A and B are shown apart, each in its own frame.
Chain A
Amino acid sequence: MSDLRIVAVEKAFAGVRVLQGITLDIASGEFFTLLGPSGCGKTTLMRIAAGFLTQDAGEVHLGGERIDFKPAHTRDIGMVFQDYAVFPHLSVADNIAFGLRTRKVGKAEIDRRVAEIVDMVRLGGLTERLPSELSGGQQQRVGLARAMVIRPKLLLMDEPLSNLDAKLRLELRDDIRALQRKLGVTTIYVTHDQEEALAVSDRICVMNGGIAEQVGTPTEIYRRPARRFAAGFVGSMTFLTTGATGGALTLGGQTLRTSAADGAITCGIRPEHVRILAVGAAIPAGAITLDGRIARVTFLGPHVSCVASTDLGPIACLLSDADPGLIPAEGAGARIVLPVAHLHCFDASGTRCEVTP
Chain B
Amino acid sequence: MTLLRRPLDPWALVLMASWALLAALLFWPLSAIFSASLVDNDTGQLSLVHYREILETRAFRRAVVNTFIAGFGGMAGSVIIGVTLAVITARYRIAGKQTIQTLAILALVSPPFIGAYAWIVLFGANGVVRNGLASIGVTMPAIYGVWGVILVFSMKFFPHVYLLTSAALNAVNPSVEEAAESLGMPPWQRLLKVTLPLILPAITASALLTFVLSIADFGTPRLIGRDFNVLATEAFTLFGSELGGNPGMASALSTLLIVISLALVALQRRAVSRNVYGGNLVKRPEPRPVSGLKSLALHGLAYLIVFIGTIPALTAVIFSFRKTHGPVFHPGFGLQSYEKVFAQVSAPIINTLMFSFIAVVLIVIVGTMIGYLLARRPGPASAALDGTLMIPYIVPGVVMGIAFITRFNTPPLVLTGGALIIILAVFIRRLPYAARSVATSLRQVGPRIEEAAISLGCPPLQAFFRTIVPLIMPGILAGALMSLVTAMNELSSSLVLYVGGTATMPVRIYLAVLDGEYGVASALASILLALTAAAVLLAFRLAGRKDAALL
Contacts and interface: CB of A to CB of B under 8 A. Distances in A.
Contacts of B471: 87-89
Q: Name the residue in A51, A73, A103 with the highest tally of chain B Cβ atoms < 10 Å from its Cβ.
A: A73
B13 interface: no
Nearest to A89: B470
B460 A73 contact: yes
Contacts, number: 77
A143 B451 CA distance: 12
Given A68-B5, A69-B5, A69-B6, A85 B459 contact: no
B9 to A, nearest CB: 9
Contacts of B453: 87, 98, 102
Contacts of A147: 455-456
A83 B448 contact: yes
Contact of B452 (A54, A76, A89, A146): A146
A303 B6 CA distance: 54
A50 B452 CA distance: 10
A308 interface: no
Contacts of A75: 455
Contact of B449 (A70, A73, A85): A85
Q: Name the residue in A78, A86, A102 with the highest tally of chain B Cβ atoms < 10 Å from its Cβ.
A: A102
Nearest to B450: A85
Interface string A43-58: 0000000111010000
B467 interface: yes
Contacts of A85: 446, 448-449, 451-452
Contacts of B7: 69-71
A59 to B, nearest CB: 10
Contact of A52 (B451, B456, B467): B451
Given A81-B451, A83-B446, A85-B446, A98 B456 contact: yes
Contacts of A102: 453, 456-458
Q: Name the residue in B451, B452, B453, B455 with the highest tally of chain A Cβ atoms < 10 Å from its Cβ.
A: B455
Given A79-B451, A83-B448, A87-B452, A54 B457 contact: no
A81 B448 CA distance: 7
Contacts of A77: 455
A73 B448 contact: no
A99 interface: yes
B528 to A, nearest CB: 35
A79 B457 contact: no
B164 interface: no
Query: How many residues of A sit at the interface, in one of the four size bands?
Result: 20 to 34
B457 A73 contact: yes
Interface in B141-155: none
Interface string A158-179: 0000000000000000000000
Contact of A146 (B451, B456, B470): B456
A88 B470 CA distance: 10
B463 interface: yes
Contacts of B455: 50, 72-73, 75, 77-79, 147, 156
Contacts of B460: 71-73
Interface in B309-335: none
Q: Name the residue in A54, A71, A74, A76 with the highest tally of chain B Cβ atoms < 10 Å from its Cβ.
A: A71
Contacts of B458: 73, 98, 102
A70 B7 CA distance: 7
A79 B6 contact: no
Contacts of B449: 85, 87-88
A54 B3 CA distance: 13
A78 B471 CA distance: 22
Interface in A57-114: 68-79, 81-83, 85-89, 98-99, 102-103
Contacts of A74: 457
Interface string A221-252: 00000000000000000000000000000000
15 contacts: A50-B451, A68-B5, A71-B459, A72-B451, A73-B454, A73-B459, A73-B463, A75-B455, A79-B451, A85-B449, A87-B449, A87-B471, A88-B471, A98-B458, A102-B457
Interface of A: 50-52, 54, 68-79, 81-83, 85-89, 98-99, 102-103, 143, 146-147, 150, 156
Given A69-B6, A99-B457, 14 more contacts: A71-B459, A72-B454, A73-B458, A74-B457, A77-B455, A79-B452, A79-B455, A83-B448, A85-B449, A87-B449, A89-B471, A99-B456, A103-B457, A150-B457
Nearest 6 CB-CB pairings of A with B: A99-B456, A85-B448, A79-B455, A85-B452, A102-B457, A71-B7
